[in-house]
Amino acid sequence: MSSIEVKNVEGKAAGTVELSDNVFGIEPNIPVMHQVVVAYEASLRQGTHSTKNRSAVSGGGVKPFRQKGTGRARQGTIRAPQFTGGGVVFGPNPHSHALRANNKEKKLAMRSALSSKLADSELFVIDELSLEPKTKQAKAVLVALGLEGKRVTIVVPDDDVNTYLAFRNLPKVTIIASCEANTRNLLDNAALVMSTAVAKQLEEVLA
């Protein structure tokens, strides 16, 4: 079991908590983390980019000039790619960019992310993180933890709306529900903050 110091919202020590080595103490698998993050970001792409080829561009129904006798290269339509207003050659068309990562890879990547955060001392566990919907209180918590001005990701319980409202307007702070946690969100920060209850919940889900 990995032991980590627990702090309160005032930044003072409030004991320790034992976390499973199977979730918070493994050797991070960097290739799998990279694969899962790439798949996640690819799934965010809309894939709606589109161009028209020569058959989709309007006009060009008449041959621009006769085949022979002009001294120019023969042309069949002014909507060919070499003309202004013509079709695009090999342009992008709508398609899905989604990549596949199976559930075992996703869980391994999240365990690797949590383990690397703990190993790098970038994981902060709070005994109880439940605030009123006031940004002033949320800012005071970050100051007490020494995280003001840093890029911080905060994971809160799914039903804790007030804490979400308190942190959402702070710059450089990303706040997510525990059900939204993924490898990219866990890694894309300088500090990861969660309550003891959330840490135990992630431990149960990823074990």
Helix locations, 69-195, DSSP H: 103-119, 135-145, 161-167, 183-187
Q: What is the pLDDT of residues 142-166, one digit of tens each?
A: 999 999 989 999 999 988 899 999 9
Q: Alpha-carbon distance 40 to 114, whole Å?
A: 17
Average pLDDT over the chain reads: 93
**pLDDT-based confidence at 61, cuts 50/70/90?**
confident
Residue 34: alpha-carbon gap to chain centroid: 12
Topology of 2-30+101-206 in CATH?
Answer: Ribosomal Protein L4; Chain: A; (3.40.1370)
Q: Are 179 and 200 in contact (CB under 8 A)?
A: no
- Claim: this prediction has a pTM higher than 0.85: no
Judged on CB neighbours under 10 Å (0-12, 13-18, 19+), 47 is middle
pLDDT at 91 over 90: yes
DSSP code of residue 42 = H
Quote the pLDDT of residue 98: 92
User: Mean pLDDT across the stretch 53-64?
Assistant: 91
Q: What is the pLDDT of residues 28-46, one digit of tens each?
A: 999 999 999 999 999 999 9
Q: What is the pLDDT of residues 161-202, one digit of tens each?
A: 999 999 999 999 999 999 999 999 999 999 999 999 999 999
pLDDT at 105 over 80: yes
Q: Are 28 and 84 in contact (CB under 8 A)?
A: no
Judged on CB neighbours under 10 Å (0-12, 13-18, 19+), 46 is exposed
Mapped onto helix, strand or coil, the DSSP state of residue 191 is: strand
Quote the pLDDT of residue 207: 83
**pLDDT-based confidence at 131, cuts 50/70/90?**
confident
Strands across the sheet containing 13-19:
13-19, 2-7, 123-126, 191-195, 152-156, 173-177
Quote the pLDDT of residue 100: 92
pLDDT at 1 over 80: no
What residue spans define the domains of the chain? 2-30+101-206
pLDDT at 2 over 80: no
